[in-house]
Amino acid sequence: MAYWEPERECMAREDLEQLQLERLQSTLYRVGTHVPFYKKRFDQLKFNYDDIRTLDDLRRLPFTEKQDLRDNYPYGLFAVPLRDVVRVHSSSGTSGQATVVGYTRNDIKIWSNLVARVITAAGVTKNDVIQIAFGYGLFTGGFGLHYGAELIGASVIPISAGNTKRQIQIMQDFKTTALVCTPSYALVMADAMMEMGINPNGLSLRFGLFGGEPWSEAMRQEIHQKLGIIATDNYGLSEVMGPGVSGECQECNGLHINEDHFLLEILDPVTLEPVPEGEIGELVITTLTKEAFPMVRYRTRDLTRFIAEPCPCGRTLKRMQRVMGRTDDMLIIKGVNVFPVQIEKVLFEVEGTEPHYQIVVERENHADKITVLVEVVESIFFDEMKKQRQVIERIKSRLASELGVGVDVKLVEEKTLERSEGKAKRVIDKRKL
């Protein structure tokens, strides 16, 4: 089992917490003195730096939202003068005004190092040929992975995104062993290979490092089957750095968080209080070492949960589950937070169901009611009523224990639910509030 920085990745919890506290204290002091946005907020709160005595004291501070980044476009949240900034990245701005982030020389060095950890954990070494099919440019994905891959000494092919045929040609000719892209693009490539008559098993490809969008366990298995590679997930967002915030090891069971550089909280998206350990909530991130663009309690809107159990790989860095969706997807049913991804997880475990489902929410006599429509394989759909009822009961009881509220389940025939290009419409909320 290879580590990039064993002394950090396998650190004792007590030492890690000391380091986090030291870094948190100096980060807050720096943002409060260098960034007018934070200074104003801290002053309004009459916040005293000395009140930060434990990591939990961070909760006294307000959140930073995407809108704050937009309001301070372009350079308002930078904590260093521009002459110290050596790189600028920007988010696309498809959902509103663009946002800008900056990096000092040290930021780039740390970023490369953290990505190197993630790449190493995924199994890639300097002997690998790594094809980076993330977009290069203002998006952080391409450059982020690129610098980390170079740092570990892998042979980097900076092919960038798009032109699938050429990707496959190069993969074949250059004997690519590791592929970096979004998981959905990996499947596009797999399908294109079929069309081109190329057998993926004949390629040198061994590893796939995927990120940039939420994906499911079912997709992982599909990628694994079609391309025959170890598919790992990695997570990051430009607002706090880019890729390298967390990444999966070869156990493929949750992403190790680079906790010595980021402090992560998981909060109930409604009450904004911490969820009980291990439960799903919104990820909130505070940077601990960023110089140019520190972030205090950034609301990512991404849903995940912490995995407290130690990982067999030996890393002591806590894991988070792969991002399971966005807070916008959350439903509140009878006062209980329900995430579509929880339902997906249960359906995935029940035999005979297809990964296609729809959640219908209604309000009857002032009470919320959920019905889950599930596609089942033909054999079950045309089976006797008794068997169908058994499947329904099994799904119902599993869902009730997972969600904490009762739901109705209806089985539907294969391919009856609407398919959509891109993001599937899973939830139909008919409530009029």
Contact positions vs another protein (CB under 8 A): 15, 18-19, 21-23, 25-26, 29-30, 33, 49-50, 52-53, 80-81, 83-84, 104-106, 109-110, 289, 291
Give the nearer residue to another protein in terms of CB position, either 57 or 429. Answer: 57
Q: Report the alpha-carbon distance of residue 390 to residue 385 in Å, rounded.
A: 9
**Beta carbon nearer to another protein, 22 or 195:** 22
36 preceded by cis ω (within 30°)?
no
Task: Specify the residue, 289 or 304, whose C-beta has the smaller distance to another protein.
Answer: 289
Q: Which is nearer to another protein, 110 or 249 (CB)?
A: 110
Q: Based on CB atoms, which residue is closest to another protein, 209 or 288?
A: 288
Residue type, 300: T
> SS3 sequence, 376-427?
ECHHHHCCCHHHHHHHHHHHHHHHHHHHCCCCEEEEECCCCCCCCCCCCCCE
Could you tell me which residues come within 8 angstroms of residue 272 by beta carbon, excluding any fewer than 6 positions away? 63
- Nearest to 128, CA basis, from 206, 234, 230: 206
Whole-angstrom Cα distance, residue 403 to residue 432? 22
Residue 44: C-alpha distances to residues 26, 32, 38, 76, 272 (Å): 20, 12, 10, 18, 20
Asked if 388 and 409 touch (Cβ cutoff 8 Å), the reply is no
Helix (H) or strand (E) holding 129: strand 129-132
CA distance 230 to 252: 8
Shorter beta-carbon distance to another protein: residue 18 or 163: 18
Considering the complex, what minimum distance in angstroms separates the CB of residue 109 from another protein?
Answer: 7
Nearer to another protein, 16 or 198 (CB): 16
What is the smallest separation between the CB atom of 21 and another protein, expressed in angstroms?
5
CB of 106 to another protein, least distance (A): 5
Smallest separation (angstroms) from another protein to the CB of 265: 20
Tell the smallest beta-carbon distance from residue 340 to another protein (Å): 41
Distance of closest approach, residue 211 Cβ to another protein, in angstroms? 26
In angstroms, give the least distance from the CB of 63 to another protein.
Answer: 23
To the nearest whole angstrom, how small is the minimum distance from the Cβ of residue 8 to another protein? 11
> Smallest distance from the beta carbon of 296 to another protein, in angstroms?
16
> Which residue type occupies 121?
A
In the block, which residue shows the tokens 């391309």?
227
Q: Which of 170, 333, 301, 172 is nearest to 237 (CA)?
A: 301
CA 54, CA 311: separation in Å to the nearest integer? 26
Q: At what angle do helices 105-121 and 140-152 cross, to 10 degrees?
A: 70
Nearer to another protein by C-beta: 289 or 353?
289
Least distance from C-beta 3 to another protein, angstroms?
18
Give the shortest CB-112-to-another protein separation in angstroms: 13
Nearer to another protein, 23 or 89 (CB): 23
Nearer to another protein, 87 or 226 (CB): 87
Query: SS3 for 198-227, per residue?
Result: CCHHHCCCCEEEECCCCCCHHHHHHHHHHH
Q: Is 86 left (phi over 0), alpha (psi -120 to 50) or beta?
A: alpha
**In this complex, which beta carbon is closest to another protein, that of residue 31 or of residue 229?**
31
Q: List all residues 6 or more positions away from 22 whose beta carbon is below 8 Å from its beta carbon.
A: none
